[in-house]
Structure formats: C-alpha cells, structure tokens
Chain A
Amino acid sequence: MDLNLNRADYLQVGVTSQKTMKLLPASRYRATQKVVVGDHDGVVMCFGMKKGEAVTVFKTLPGQKIARLELGGVLNTPQEKIFIAAGSEIRGFTKRGKQFLSFETNLTESIKAMHISGSDLFLSASYIYNHYCDCKDQHYYLSGDKINDVICLPVERVLRDVPVLACQDRVLRVLQGSDVMYEIEVPGPPTVLALQNGNGGDSGEDLLYGTSDGKLGLIQITTSKPIHKWEIRNEKKRGGILCIDSFDIVGDGVKDLLVGRDDGMVEVYSFDNANEPVLRFDQTLSESVTSIQGGCVGKDGYDEIVVSTYSGWVTGLTTEPIHKESGPGEELKINQEMQNKISSLRSELEHLQYKVLQEREKYQQSSQSSKAKSAVPSFSVNDKFTLNKDDASYSLILEVQTAIDNVLIQSDVPIDLLDVDKNSAVVSFSSCDSESNDNFLLATYRCQANTTRLELKIRSIEGQYGTLQAYVTPRIQPKTCQVRQYLIKPLSLHQRTHFIDHDRPMNTLTLTGQFSFAELHSWVVFCLPEVPEKPPAGECVTFYFQNTFLDTQLESTYRKGEGVFKSDNISTISILKDVLSKEATKRKINLNISYEINEVSVKHTLKLIHPKLEYQLLLAKKVQLIDALKELQVHEGNTNFLIPEYRCILEEADHLQEEYKKQPAHLERLYGMITDLFIDKFKFKGTNVKTKVPLLLEILDSYDQNALIAFFDAA
C-alpha cells in the first residue's frame, strides 16, 4: 500500500527546541487530540483544530526558554499532565492550563533533557544527571561528556528503574541508582532516545536511538548486557535525528517508526516480517523537525503525523485527502474556509504593518538624537559543525528562524569550501590578502528568498588550525548580523573512538613538566575534536581517537605532570609536538618533550594507505576511459569486441562516475598526506628532505607500493 500524506500547516509559535511538542491523549479512539507546544519565549500553548481553525485552549505568559516538554501522570492512567523544563525549573500544568507544580531544582546548569514516569523525574543538564522522586533528590551522576537525552525503561514492565543517558562521546550509559551499570557504544553521537513502540517493545527493554550523523538503531537493554537488534546507516547522507515516535500510520496494526531530522526530513519506517525497518515514506519540510508524534488533530477519523519545526510551525502530514470526492459543494466549502483564513491573516498583517511603520518612524527619529542608543535585534541561530566520517570533511549547518539574506564565511586557515547540492544560494569567492589581514578564505553566500537553512561543506588540512567565522545576516529590519565562530583544530580529522588496535607499531610522544591535569586537558581539547571541555573526573584519563581519512589511531593518556600520546602515524605525532610546544611557549611553561619513533610504523601507515590509493588510482583511470568507450559503443553498436575489463567499466559507468564525483580531490589529499609522512619521518631524524619531495611526487605518479616503500627507506 502506498502511503500518501498531505501537508497541512496549523499554527506558528516561537522558535522551538527538540522534543517540545506533544499530543494530549484522545478521549476516544481516533478522536481529535489537542496539541501542546512550548517555545523559546517560554510560552506553553495548547490548542485544538476546529473546522480548520486553531482554537487555543490555554496559553501561558512568556518566561524562560523551554528546553523540553513531556506528558506525565499517575502510572496506568492517561498521561495528560504537562511538564516543562525551563532554565533550572520544572513546571507542571493540567490539561486545562492550571499550574499545579513549580519545582526549582537548584541545578547550576539549565536543564537539557527530561523524562517523567509516574512520580519519578529524571533530569539532565549538560553533564549532570539527577533523579528525583516526588521532588526529592534520589540519585546523581556526573557524566564524562555532554548528555543529550535521558530516558527510563518503562518501570511498570521491567519493574525497576533503568535510566539511560545518551552522551555525546558516542556512548549510551545505562545507570543503576547513581552508578553506571554498563556502557554501550553506538555508531554516532546519540541525540535522541525513545522506547520501541512507545512501551519498550515485547520485552519492555527495547530502546531506539538516533544519532547526530543520521543513524538509527534498536538496542535491547537487558540486565546484564546490551543486544544490538538493528541499525540503519545513513546512506543517503540525510540530516541528524532530532525526534522519534512510534505510531501505526500505515494502518496495518503494527506501529511504524516516525523519524524527524534536522534537514527537514520526515520519514516513516514500517517493519517487515523479520522485524527489520523498511522506509515507507519520506517528505522534506524546509527546516529542522524538532518534535514528531502520530495522532489525530485536523479531523477525527484521519490519522496523521504531527511535527513541530525549528521556527515554530506545527504541521500535520495527514491521511485526509485534499480533494474529497464527495459532491462539488464540499470542495467549495473547504475553499471558503481557506479564504476566510487568508482574509483574516491579511487584515491582521495590515494592522501590524501600520504599527511597524509607526515604530520604524520613531526609530528613525531617535537616530537624530545624540544620546539615543540603537540595539540590534537578537535572533537565534541554530548551528551545527560536525565531522563526517565518510568523506573526512566538516559540515556546517546554519538555521535561522527567518529567511537568511546572506552569509559571509571567513577563515584564517587554508580550507576548501565544497559545493553542496541541496544549497540554492549563490556563492562567490572574494580575493583575500592573507598576509596583512589573516584571511585565507572569504566567501559570500547570497541566499534565495525563503531560505532559512544553509548547509556548507568544508575540507580541512591536519596541522593547520585556526578559526572559521560565519556572519549570518537574516532578512529582518533593522538589518543586523550575528557572528559565529568554529574552531578548526590541529588534528581536525580525528574522531573519538572507544576501542583501538593495540598491536600496531606505535610512535610515542611523552610530555613531562610542571603542569596541572586541567592544563594538559585544555591542550588536548585545543588539539582534538570531540573531547569534553570539562576535565574528566579522576586523576588519569585515556582517550582514543581514529583518523577518519587514513584510519590511523591515536591514544592519549595523561595525568598531572605527564602526558603520553601514541600513534601509528608519524605525522600525527609531529603535529602534536609542534602544537604543544608552541602552546607551552605561549604560556611560558617549561615542557620536556621526548619522543620515540618506531621505524616500522611508517611502512605500516603506507600499507594502510595502499588500498585507498590503489582504489582511487584505478577509479580515476576507469573514469577517464568511460567517454571513449561509450563512443566506441555508439560506433560499433555492441560491446562484444571489447575485453571483459572494458565491458565491465561500461556496465558500471554510472556507478563509477558517481563514486568519482563523491570524493573530489581525494587523490590529492592522499598525496598530501604521504608527502607529510615523508617529511615528518625525516624531521624526527633531524634531516630536511623538502628537496626530495618532487622526486616523491614522481614516484607517486607511477605508483607502485614497493617502489614507494623503497623510496621511504632509501632517502
């Protein structure tokens, strides 16, 4: 059966955070439900739809930004009490809008995530997790990295409290009281957790997770160990996952999986006979989908997916057809409703426009006086700067509540800005005078009308570090721009991992000196991405990293006065050495740096690069042949006369070209890294081999693994 959903916009509120919209339980099966939504202005709004018009049930006064909104109530009764987290406070409302709870948690950080189960309240701020029962403090846990979401397995089914934290360091932490029961590594930084089918599935222990790089998975949390059930990799390179819900929208009696992503994608997965998810439906909205839930809002009897977006739109994707097949009179009535809505909006706009004009005049007048000040309107920018593992590039996503006019990208390190197909903005690179003004990249993106979201792709070079700045100018009056800064770290292509291969030949860099644990930690934060800014608890800490481009690894272990860095890639060690000694000199700290170079590691790294290089060379060669072969094909009519190898190229032509397009400049990057490796190898020996680089490039041009290794050995 084909799933056909039609979009209907209900209402717009202020900017919304993740998981801040819910549907109140219906009074009976398939009756219309009320929607509650909380926004950044601190307003909680509850409304229902009547004849296509949004009718407000209640609306609170503005306050602090609402970070989460959940429903709760006594267990095994309808969950219709509304709880919101704003700042460090939890407030509760009845479905009529009466406030019955205001609980100041006294947390030093503002609350980021919340889960409610009966009278138990599970909260997490950036690093702190707290469990309250009847507003009394029960358990506490300090996490090593940022907590993105918190959930608890259904207590009525598993008969114990099993809170699970989704932490930024790619780990789900399963707690028992105040302690970690065990950790589960997931393929990306988890951003959202949900219970399978809304109740934990058959066992009550099935937990869904979504990651910021767009992966989705199901894990069963048993008492002793986790069982990975399935995982959906993000093949289509869609956005990160922000919300998950289970609802039977297909109507086959099995709950489907509803997923909302930060690139505006709404997806429906249904389950096949083997209980594996299959994509059934997808639709893009133009902005981040912050909350999603299945239910019935627009018209009773028609199921729909209700979503809220970043700029505050509450939208339904409904099974109700737009054009009904009942008589022609009906259609006219629908149109009438629309017309009414439009005309009321228009009159409202006129009124507003008049008011704005007045204010604008006042503002203009104030600019004549010498004492007056002019503040810039604040607007919120939702940004995300992440490393993609697949092509070792960074993607920068900027989203603003109103349309973007232009974005200026400035960088003081050499980086490449790549084209993203999804963008419609016109990019223009400006010449830059790098010596006097530290500009290595100046580019403007002029956006088309109604663009609220801009995605950029950036390729960095390891060893060159600095700051990338984005000046975002939206289309609001008075015109203003906001600057956002992103650090390009020295080892920018490294990614946190939890397991490394200890059998590889390693080079070691040891630091000793009069520095504190926190100081050394700050240097590690400076050099490597995905390290929590806060120094972890304990005296000694170990982090593992993986180079996303070459798959080499780095192990860093440090404590007060000593740090040890081990990597199988000499270049990594060389970069660390340069950066750390520079940093230490800047802070006038006396550092002893010693290193131990393992000759075998160079050969090992070259061997790691070999398959990638060979593949790329072959690919380039094949792609070059495609056009000529196609011409032969047209000329001769068939391909029987070709050798099988060429025939194979012709058959795979489209695939090859796609693959080639996907990795622009891949070969150049590999060449660059081999050259670095070559220079670094001899740098540690104290010889400068820059003069031999042209010779190396010559060898690379007619690549042969043995010749290359021999050259490395001989030079």
Chain B
Amino acid sequence: MLLPVFTLKLRHKIIPRMVAVGRYDGTHPCLAAATQAGKVFIHNPHARSQHFSASRVLQSPLESDVSLLNINQAVSCLAAGVLNPELGYDALLVGTQTNLLAYDVYNNSDLFYREVADGANAIVLGTLGDISSPLAIIGGNCALQGFDHEGNDLFWMVTGDNVHSLALCDFDGDGKKELLVGSEDFDIRVFKEDEIVAEMTETEIITSLCPMYGSRFGYALSNGTVGVYDKTARYWRIKSKNHAMSIHAFDLNSDGVCELITGWSNGKVDARSGRTGEVIFKDNFSSAVAGVVEGDYRMDGHIQLICCSVDGEIRGYLPGTAEMRGNLMDTSVEQDLIRELSQKKQNLLLELRNYEDNAKAELSSSLNEADGHRGVIPANTKLHTALSVNLGSEAQAAHAELCISTSNDTIIRAVLIFAEGIFLGESHVVHPSIHNLSSSIRIPITPPKDVPVDLHLKTFVGYRSSTQFHVFELTRQLPRFSMYALTSPDSASEPLSYVNFIIAERAQRVVMWLNQNFLLPEDTNIQNVPFQVCFTSLRNGGQLCIKIKLSGEITINTDDIDLAGDIIQSMASFFAIEDLQVEADFPVYFEELRKVLVKVDEYHSVHQKLSADMADNSNLIRSLLVRAEDAHLMRDMKTMKNRYMELYDLNKDLLNGYKIRCNNHTELLGSLKAVNQAIQRAGRLRVGKPKNQVITACRDAIRSNNINTLFRIMRVGTASS
C-alpha cells in the first residue's frame, strides 16, 4: 500500500488546473497555484527566513511560508518552467483573459507582460519543433501564440475553435516536439510547427492533454472520459460520472513506464496503467482535486507525485519501491484474482444453466400465455433495422429515421441507443406507452453535426405481458451526411457559392463514396459520368449540388462553407488524396466576413478611446481625492462633501465605462473568433500542403491588414496571381 510521504494543509483555496511546481531560485522547488480574488500563491517551505517583499508580492497573512502575488484579474492558466536557459532558474507564467505575464519570482521582476487579445485559456512551456528557444505557448480564442523569454511572438497559428488544452509531445517520433491542441469543437489537432499533421475527433470538449512517453499522450474530456492515444489511435478510454480535473503522467510503480494519474472532481486520485487503463493505485481527498504535478519537494533527490485539492490540501507520493512489485493497493492481488475467476465461473455456470433450461423449454408444448409472460419468444426472431431520410411533416421537422422491426408477432418494449455526440447525454431511449406497443418502431434521429456515428442499439423484445425481455444488441453506423435528402436537380435554386477541384478517380469510386456517406434511397441508380446529384439539408433546407465532369472535375455548390469543407475532407480521406488545391467562392460568407473585419477595426478604436478616457478619469480622481482631503484638513466640511459627491459620480462613470469596455471586449472576442474560424474554414477546403499555405498566407494578410488579398487567398489558395 502506497502512503503519502507528506501531507500539507494550506489555508488557501486552489483554482482547478492552476498549479505548477518550479525552482524559482534555481534550487528550491516551490508550488505556485492560483487562488481566490485574482491572486497566485507561492508555497516555499525551504527557505523560511527569506521572503519576497515588493509591491507585487506580499506575505500571506494566513500562512508563514506562503507568499501571495497579486494579479488583480481572474487567472486562466498557470505554468512554471525554463523560459530563458541563460537565467538558470524557472519563470512563472500567469495568463488571464487579456494578458500574459512572465514573472521572475526570485528577482521580483517581470520578464515580459504582453497583452493577448485572444485570451489565454491554456498554456504550455517548452521547445516546439525546430524553434531553438523555449516558448511559452498559449491557446485562446481559436488562436495559438508562442512567446520567447523576451516576449517576442515567434509562433502564431489559428485553430478550429476555442483552445482548452495544450501539450507538447513527440507525436511522430522524430525527436522534436509537436504541439497537441484540444479545443471546444471536440477535436485534438497536432501541429508540427505551422503544419497540422493529424486531427482526431473526440466526443466532448477536450479539457486536458498530457504527454506520456514516446508518441503516447493522455487526454480528458468534459464528460468524464479519460484515455490514452498512441499517435492517432485510441489505446483505451474509460468514462466516469465525475469529471477529470487534472491529468499527469508519472511512473508510480517504478516499472519504467509512466502511468496516467487522474485527479477527479469527487476528490479521487487514481493511477492507471498506460497500456490497459487498469487502476493500479487510488486515493481520496475530501474535496475536488485541483491539480496533479511532480517535483522533488522534499529536496532528497527523489521526484514525488504531488496532488492538490481545491481546499488546499497537498499530498506527495513517492513511487513504489521494487519490493512492492507494483502492488500499491492494500488488497492482495491473488485474492482479487480468485474473486474474479470465481465470478467468471459463476457467470459461465449461469449461462450453462440458461441453455439447459432453454433445451427443457423447447421440449415442452408450443408457445402459450405463461411463456410470453416469462419472456419466451420464438428462437428464430430476428431484428431488422433500416436507416432512411424522413422529410418530416407539419408536426415534426425533417430528420433521419431509424426503423427497427421484429420478424414475427413479438413486440419491441423499448430501444436504448448509445451513441456519442448526437444526443444530449450518451444515450437516447424510446419507450412507447403500453397502448402503442408494436413489432416495429421508428426513431427520429437528428445529429447536430456532420460526423459518422456508431449507433449501439439495445432492443428489448418480448410480449405485451412480459416481465422479462430479450435484449438484442447490434451496431449500425449513421453515415456522415445523413441529414441531407436527395432531391431532383433544379438549376434555378442552385447556390451561387461553389468549390471547384480536379481529382483523378473513377466515377464508380465517387458513387461508392456517395453511397457510404449519404442516406440514398435504395432505388437510386447513378448513371455514368458526367452526372449531378442534388441534396437538401434537413436542418435548414440549404441546397447542395455535386457535379462531376468527364475530366474528373468536381464542383460542389453550397452556401455552407463548413459543409463544403467537410465534404472535401471526407473525400480526401476516402480517396487517400494527399494534396488538393481548390478554387472556391462563397460571396455571401465573404461579405459577412468583410463586415466583421470592419467591425474589428471599430472595436479596436473604441477600445483605445475608452482606455484613454479611463486614464483621464483616474487622474481626475487622484486630484479630487487630494482636494477633498485638503478640505477635510481645513475643516471645510461642505466642500469636502461636495468633492466626495463628485468623486462618487466619477466612480459611477468609471463603472459604466468599465461595463462598456467589457461589452466591447466580448464583442471583439466574438469577431476575432469569427475571423480565426474563417481562416480555418478556408484551410479546410484544401488538403495537405495547399491547406497550410492558405492558412499561412491568410495570417500574413491579416497582419498586414490587407483585406482584399485575404479574400483572394481564400478564393484561389495563393496570394500571388
């Protein structure tokens, strides 16, 4: 049994995920964590006498070996590590929604303080690819930025949605680190410097990522899932009803391989084998775990695993010794194994008995009422499933439809569908009332996103009076574009926007792709090239046309730029296309984007004006206060009162100004997000190298504020004509 080697109870709350250990003076590891009221505390148990005292840092009134750092803003990410290798000690990086501070704790000075418009939701410190100096990479609103120790912006990238987690990991095994980005659109993207090398779609927001070893990394989702990926393949995952607050890789059983340590919202900490996900150790805190980090906190040459709870309890664990043979829990392994084997034996015996009973039942007479009650059904009962498109009626919106029916007079009592990402929870249940029971059921399905989904069906089959039901389990795949219904071509309503490209594929292969990704009626027969298919979106009635010419030229007409991107990405993976350049035009979308860009400029100027106003006002306040106090000293109570009244009004103005600034800022963020997304979308219309070229070129165009070039790049893929 592994016990903590030390336990501390600090009287400061810790904000989840905002914990880091660093050697801020080069030798003593100290724990830094964000706490309430926009403060960061640094716990330094080693040098009791020596305290930092300056304007920014102050001694905690609650604890002797804790110093507090005032940020005056809610901290949104925190990291510690070497930013300037020449300095020889670690820097503390604190990100908020508007700024990034790199702080030298030892000398009490700022290394740099940068304004970051996109906010900093996540931070990671380290070297990326071929960039020589260590970077502090922050992820914000659809954007990634990397700063060196002087605050120079050496890396800038956009990504699909708001970034929630970052990690550096040698993903492709070339000895250099790639950047893993987990974002709000459920995607994990891997950046090799500027290039996206892989994209994995998960089922929820990715809240944490951590490198394990080699190309393996752990991840955690906001729905309570944690797991491990090896490159693009998921190794294992588990789901809990609690949320994983923090994950960290640490070799707890000294077998040379890191385990995935997870801190949960219910206060549980567990260590799972990186290979199998099996729990090898667990412990419990009385409140949610805020962070899991590692460091030589006792300065004895051994690295400990350090777990912190939100209430400020800190426990350190040393890795298990060789004698423990990996046995970190108090129950003996053998006992558990015996119990498991016995349970298996009981299950098999039970199953055997079931078959025996069944054989006996078969000998008895034909089906009767009592049998139905016990749940006896004809053995040849089969379940048919069919997926189709339902155009809907007045009462019901259009939807994809799953039809399940039995092959005889048995009824379907209920259907459970377990699928990820398309329902509110992880499952959808259809349970008809006792009067509406029948042998077939139609289930409307409306996936909110165009993703292929595995539907795991559990169907309860029996008779009306049954108290026991057979459970038929089967899996059907819902095609990616199931929310599009085939319609007859109609050139009048054809969307103006288009994407145009050439692929070298036989028409049959394209038809195969169509069949696999759309719900086509069974009698659909597509003639030879050239042909044209049209679809209507069941979500908004938008049109989609795919035309194929003899030359292999494909035109996709749709006003939905996301859909066009999805189709191209889906085709690229189906036909294994590595590089694809396209010509695209989305007049409506581009016009909107132009408006957004104009708005961004407006917001920026408003922001500047408001900041100037605020500076003016604060000067005024200073003078008013002095004058009011002067009056106080002169015992001129009337003037003093007047001055304070003025001060009060001014304060109210300031508050109002602040509210305006806040609104302005949120709107600015929204617009910036739209711009970042537009770049991302323009990239998604291409594949491989052209994709990266578009993103880089768009970025440059935005930097140089050249809107026309930006649109040109989005249309043809390059800046030069």
Contacts and interface: CB of A to CB of B under 8 A. Distances in A.
Interface of A: 7-9, 12, 311-312, 322, 335, 338-339, 341-342, 345-346, 348-349, 352-353, 355-356, 359-360, 362-363, 366-370, 372-379, 401-403, 406, 408, 410, 412, 419, 421, 423-432, 436-439, 442-444, 446, 448, 450, 471, 473, 475-483, 627, 630-631, 633-638
Given A376-B375, A402-B347, A636-B61, 19 more contacts: A335-B334, A341-B338, A349-B344, A356-B352, A356-B355, A366-B379, A373-B378, A373-B379, A376-B376, A376-B462, A378-B468, A423-B241, A426-B224, A431-B423, A432-B431, A442-B429, A473-B458, A476-B350, A479-B472
Contacts of A633: 62
Nearest to B342: A12
A348 B345 contact: yes
Given A353-B348, A375-B361, A421-B266, A430 B470 contact: no
B376 A349 contact: no
Contacts of B352: 352, 355-356, 359
B418 interface: yes
Contacts of A426: 224, 239-241, 426
Contact of B376 (A375, A471, A483): A375
A369 B347 contact: no
A1 B421 CA distance: 55
Contacts, number: 239
Nearest to A8: B335
A345 B341 contact: yes
B61 A637 contact: yes
B452 interface: no
Contacts of B472: 479
A430 B429 contact: yes
Given A368-B380, A627-B36, A379 B350 contact: yes
A368 B381 CA distance: 9
Which residue, A7, A403, A444, A631, has most C-beta atoms of chain B within 10 A? Answer: A444
Question: Interface residue tally of chain B, by bracket?
Answer: 35 or more
Nearest to B360: A375
Nearest to B346: A12
Contacts of B176: none
A408 B351 contact: no
10 contacts: A348-B345, A372-B378, A372-B380, A376-B468, A412-B433, A425-B241, A430-B427, A478-B351, A482-B467, A634-B62
B469 A483 contact: yes
Nearest to A444: B427
A638 B414 CA distance: 60
Contacts of B350: 377, 379, 401-402, 476
Contact of A377 (B331, B338, B351, B436): B351
A312 B347 CA distance: 13
B237 interface: no
Interface of B: 12-13, 35-37, 39, 60-62, 68, 224, 239-241, 266, 331-332, 334-335, 337-339, 341-359, 361-362, 367, 371, 374-381, 413-414, 416, 418, 423-429, 431-433, 436, 458, 460, 462, 466-473
A113 B414 CA distance: 39
Contacts of B414: 408, 410, 471
Contacts of A477: 351, 354
Given A372-B362, A477-B351, A402 B346 contact: yes
A7 B331 contact: yes
Contacts of A631: 36-37
Contacts of B367: 373
A216 B297 CA distance: 48
A7 to B, nearest CB: 7
Contacts of A436: 433, 436
B698 to A, nearest CB: 40
Contacts of A442: 429, 431
B406 to A, nearest CB: 13
Contacts of B467: 482-483
A360 B345 CA distance: 16
Contacts of B224: 426
Contact of B36 (A9, A410, A630): A630
Contacts of A356: 348, 351-352, 355
Contacts of B13: 630
B432 A481 contact: no
A473 B471 contact: yes
Contact of B379 (A369, A408, A448): A369
A345 B338 CA distance: 8
A434 to B, nearest CB: 10
A9 B338 contact: yes
Nearest to B344: A349
Which residue, B61, B338, B377, B380, has most C-beta atoms of chain A within 10 A? Answer: B380
Which residue, B335, B351, B458, has most C-beta atoms of chain A within 10 A? Answer: B351
Contact of B39 (A8, A406, A634): A634
Contacts of A379: 350
Contact of B358 (A339, A363, A412, A419): A363
Contacts of B345: 12, 345, 348-349, 352
B342 A9 contact: yes
A476 B413 CA distance: 20
B351 A424 contact: no
Contact of A430 (B12, B359, B424): B424
B351 A476 contact: yes
Nearest to A475: B347
A369 B358 CA distance: 14
A482 B468 contact: yes
A419 B427 CA distance: 17
Nearest to B341: A345
B436 A370 contact: no
B334 A444 contact: no
A407 to B, nearest CB: 10
B266 A410 contact: no
Contacts of A478: 351, 354, 470
Contact of A427 (B62, B241, B418, B432): B241
Contacts of B377: 373-374
B436 A437 contact: yes
Contacts of A12: 342-343, 345-346
A408 B429 CA distance: 8
B378 A374 contact: yes
Nearest to A636: B61
B629 to A, nearest CB: 23
Contacts of B337: 342
Contacts of A425: 241
B241 A376 contact: no
B429 A410 contact: yes
Nearest to A482: B468
A374 B381 CA distance: 9
B393 to A, nearest CB: 14
A638 B375 contact: no
A439 B431 contact: yes
A9 B12 CA distance: 45
Given A346-B341, A349-B345, A367 B379 contact: yes
Contact of A634 (B37, B462, B468): B37
A204 to B, nearest CB: 41
A22 B359 CA distance: 36
Contacts of A636: 61
- The 5 A-B pairs of least Cβ separation, nearest first, read A637-B61, A428-B425, A377-B354, A372-B379, A479-B471
Contact of A429 (B68, B332, B371, B424): B424
Given A352-B345, A439-B431, A479-B471, A377 B357 contact: yes
A367 B240 contact: no
Contact of B241 (A338, A349, A424): A424
B477 to A, nearest CB: 20
Given A376-B469, A483-B467, A9 B357 contact: no
B428 to A, nearest CB: 5
Contacts of B374: 375-376, 378
A310 to B, nearest CB: 12
B470 A479 contact: yes
Contact of A370 (B241, B335, B380): B380
